[in-house]
Amino acid sequence: MLVRSAQGLYWMSRYLERARRLCRLLQLQTESLVDRPIREIHFGWSRIYASVNRDPPAGRIELLGSDDYTLADSYTLAGDLTFERSNPDSVWSCFDQGRENARQIRQSISTPMWTQLNLAYLRLQELEMPDIWAVSPESFYADTVAQIDTFVGVAAATMYRGEGWRFMELGRFVERAQLLAALLLAQLDAEQHVEEASDADWTGLLRLCHAFEVYNRRYSVAVQPRQVLDLLVTDPRLPDSLGRSIDRAAEEIDAIGPGPDPDSSGALQRLAGRIGGVIHYQWPDHDDCQALLEQVRTHCYELHDRVTAAYFDYAIEDAPAS
């Protein structure tokens, strides 16, 4: 398929996955504004900003002991992550980029996919921060997640399973792996800066990945950070787990097959296998979770570069012609 189309599908998918993850985080965070202690709210914001690698508008998040301040600050922070045009990773920007990529390669996706995405985009265009904050910000985020999930479902139901589909899936799982690795590191990092870790910080992570009930069944309702990490990192049956994301990305790379340059295609396949190896074979017997996660995160970023080198940015002189 045309390189630009493959790239458009890959990026469309990545941006929508990014928007989805951010909306999930903001959904849980705005839920916590209703009844959680200020310390937890503060922890939540720090974790979000660390995971998206962005500085909060005022440079840092102040821990003030008053509800009023916390809520006012939360409004500013949520606005910065949701509608801020100048924030390239805000929900608004991710949607804008996702839809723009889709628009450019619209002939490569099905009509129902385009319509669903465009409707979701148009809805977002009509909203501002005060609209979502006044009643129930968490339901706005939940609705937005549902819109993206619907898009993914419509895609699954209607899109031809050609190379385009593969690149779309690849983009989604590369993004998902990068985001989760960054979030887990943010969690570990934020924990080191609080006096007393709270169970809620960990259960929030489980909920975020739709793993709370599974965890309770498999382990116990008592939260053990290491067990939470094991589940989120290695479980191949959990749609959001790191291990599954990497396995799925590797499957898509296999299915797409080699690009024009055998060397960079080989390097890509080996890297995907190596990350899988770390997760499935090193993680269970390893004590330093942080070090291993750092390694996985670095590899996940590298994975993107290798995809680009193998399929998108190859040298024309080396390319076979047909």
Partner 1 sequence: MDFDTYELDPSVYDEMLLPDGAPRDHCRPLYDALRRMSSEELSGVQERATRSFSHEGISFTVYGEAEAQERIIPIDCLPRLLSGADWRLIESGLTQRLIALNRFLEDVYNEARIVADGVIPADMVRGCPQYRIEMRGFSPPHGVWVAICGTDIVRTNDGFHVLEDNLRVPSGVSYMIANRKVIKSGLRRTYRSARVREVEHYGRLLQATLRELAPSGRSDPCIALLTPGVYNAAFYEHMFLAGEIGAELVEGRDLVVNDGTVYMRTTSGLRRVDVIYRRIDDDFLDPLVFRPDSLLGVPGLLHACKRGSVSLVNAPGTGVADDKSVYAYVPDMIRYYLGDEPILANVETHLCRRPESLEYTLDNLENLVVKRVGESGGYGMLVGPHATPAERAAYAEEVRANPADFIAQPVLALSRAPCLIDGRFEPRHVDLRPFVLNGRQTRIVPGAFCRVALRRGSLVVNSSQGGGGKDLWVLNDQAN
Binding site for partner 1 (CB under 8 A): 1-6, 100, 103-107, 111, 114-115, 118-119, 122, 163, 167, 256-257, 259-260, 311-312, 316, 319-322
Q: Which is nearer to partner 1, 138 or 163 (CB)?
A: 163
Task: Report the nearest approach of partner 1 to the CB of residue 105 (Å).
Answer: 8
Q: Which is nearer to partner 1, 135 or 321 (CB)?
A: 321
- The encoded tokens of residue 261 equal 């340059």
Torsion of CA 309, 312, 314, 316, to 10 degrees: -170
Q: Which is nearer to partner 1, 118 or 216 (CB)?
A: 118
Q: Which is nearer to partner 1, 50 or 267 (CB)?
A: 267
Q: Which is nearer to partner 1, 51 or 93 (CB)?
A: 93
- CA 82, 85, 86, 87 torsion-angle sign: positive
Angle (CA) 203-198-225 rounded to 5° is 55
Spatial distance between the Cα atoms of 199 and 202, rounded to a whole number of angstroms: 5
Task: Report the nearest approach of partner 1 to the CB of residue 276 (Å).
Answer: 23
Task: Report the nearest approach of partner 1 to the CB of residue 2 (Å).
Answer: 5
- Contact call for residues 238 and 263 (beta carbons, < 8 A): no
The burial class, CB within 10 Å (0-12 / 13-18 / 19+), for 289 is middle
Q: Which is nearer to partner 1, 131 or 318 (CB)?
A: 318
- Contact call for residues 50 and 181 (beta carbons, < 8 A): no
Q: Which is nearer to partner 1, 99 or 244 (CB)?
A: 99
Task: Report the nearest approach of partner 1 to the CB of residue 107 (Å).
Answer: 4
- The encoded tokens of residue 180 equal 């989760």
End-to-end distance of the chain based on CA atoms, in angstroms?
A: 13
- The encoded tokens of residue 196 equal 């007393």
Spatial distance between the Cα atoms of 233 and 236, rounded to a whole number of angstroms: 9
Q: Which is nearer to partner 1, 114 or 133 (CB)?
A: 114
Task: Report the nearest approach of partner 1 to the CB of residue 172 (Å).
Answer: 17
Tokens 């914001």, located at residue: 45
Task: Report the nearest approach of partner 1 to the CB of residue 102 (Å).
Answer: 9
- Contact call for residues 105 and 5 (beta carbons, < 8 A): yes
Task: Report the nearest approach of partner 1 to the CB of residue 118 (Å).
Answer: 5
Per the rule left: phi > 0, alpha: psi between -120 and 50, beta: everything else, 297 is: alpha
Spatial distance between the Cα atoms of 29 and 21, rounded to a whole number of angstroms: 12
Task: Report the nearest approach of partner 1 to the CB of residue 265 (Å).
Answer: 10
